[in-house]
Structure 1
Amino acid sequence: MYTFDQYLKLSREAKSLATRYGCACLKAHLGALSAYDMKKKLLTDAEKMKYGADWLNKSSRFYNKKEQGEPIVRRQVVEDIDRRVQPLFSLTSLLCHPLWQLIDNPTPTKQSITEALSNLPHSYVQMLFKEADAVGLVKRKKLSRQAIWKIHASADIHALACLIAFCLESPPTKNDRLDLAQLSAIQYLIKLSIISVFSTVAEDFYILLNQNFSATLVAKHDRLYSDVWPYRAPDDSHIMLPMRIINNYHVNIAGTINVYKKLYQKAIQRGFVNKADVNEQTFYNFICHTEIQQLSNILYQDGPIPDNFRDLKHLIFERTLLRK
Structure 2
Amino acid sequence: MYTFEQYLKLSREAKSLATRYGCACLKAHLGALSAYEMKKKLLTDTEKIKYGSDWLNKSSRFYNKKEQGEPIVRRHVVDDIDRRVKPPFSLMSLLCHPLWQLTDNPNPTQNSINEALMNLPHRYVQMLFKEDGDSGLVRRQKVSRQAIWKINASTDIHALTCLIAFCLELPSSKNNRLDLAQLSAIRYLIKLSIISVFSTVAEDFYILLNQNFSATLATKHDRVYSDVWPYRTPDDAQIMIPMRIINNCHVNIATTINVYKKLYQKAIQRGLVNKTNEDEQKFYNFICHTEIQHLTDILYQDAQIPDNFSDLKHLLFERTLNRK
The TM-score range, normalised by the shorter chain, is: over 0.9
Question: Are the counterparts in 1 of residues 172 and 178 from structure 2 also a CA contact under 8 Å?
Answer: no
Normalising by structure 2, we get a TM-score of: 0.98
Alignment of 1:229-268 (within 5 A): 229-268=229-268
Equivalents in 2 of 1:278, 1:306: separation in Å? 19
Question: Unpaired runs of 5+ in structure 2?
Answer: none
Shift of 1:65: 0.1
Question: Are the counterparts in 2 of residues 173 and 221 from structure 1 also a CA contact under 8 Å?
Answer: no
Shift of 1:177: 9.0
The 3-state SS of whatever aligns with 1:240 is strand
Shift of 1:91: 0.2
What are the Cα deviations for residues 124-167 of structure 1, in whole angstroms up to 9, with x where unaligned? 00010001122600000101111000000000000000000000
Question: Are the counterparts in 2 of residues 175 and 225 from structure 1 also a CA contact under 8 Å?
Answer: no
The 3-state SS of whatever aligns with 2:163 is helix
Equivalents in 2 of 1:206, 1:173: separation in Å? 27
Question: Are the counterparts in 1 of residues 102 and 116 from structure 2 also a CA contact under 8 Å?
Answer: yes
What are the Cα deviations for residues 6-48 of structure 1, in whole angstroms up to 9, with x where unaligned? 1001000000000000000000000000000000000011100
2:86 corresponds to which residue?
A: 86
Question: Are the counterparts in 1 of residues 171 and 178 from structure 2 also a CA contact under 8 Å?
Answer: no
Normalising by structure 1, we get a TM-score of: 0.98
Shift of 1:215: 1.4
Shift of 1:86: 1.1
**Aligned residues: CA RMSD:** 1.3
Letter in 1 for 2:253: I
Shift of 1:225: 3.8
Shift of the 44–12 alpha-carbon distance from structure 1 to 2, 3 Å rule, reads same
Question: Unpaired runs of 5+ in structure 1?
Answer: none
Aligned residue pairs, count: 324
1:6 corresponds to which residue?
A: 6
What are the Cα deviations for residues 245-301 of structure 1, in whole angstroms up to 9, with x where unaligned? 000000000000000000000000111111001100110000010010010010000
2:123 corresponds to which residue?
A: 123
Shift of 1:218: 1.5
Question: Are the counterparts in 1 of residues 129 and 137 from structure 2 also a CA contact under 8 Å?
Answer: yes
Equivalents in 2 of 1:133, 1:202: separation in Å? 41
Equivalents in 2 of 1:242, 1:321: separation in Å? 22
Question: Are the counterparts in 2 of residues 186 and 243 from structure 1 also a CA contact under 8 Å?
Answer: yes
1:288 corresponds to which residue?
A: 288
Shift of 1:173: 6.2
Equivalents in 2 of 1:4, 1:176: separation in Å? 38
Shift of 1:221: 2.3
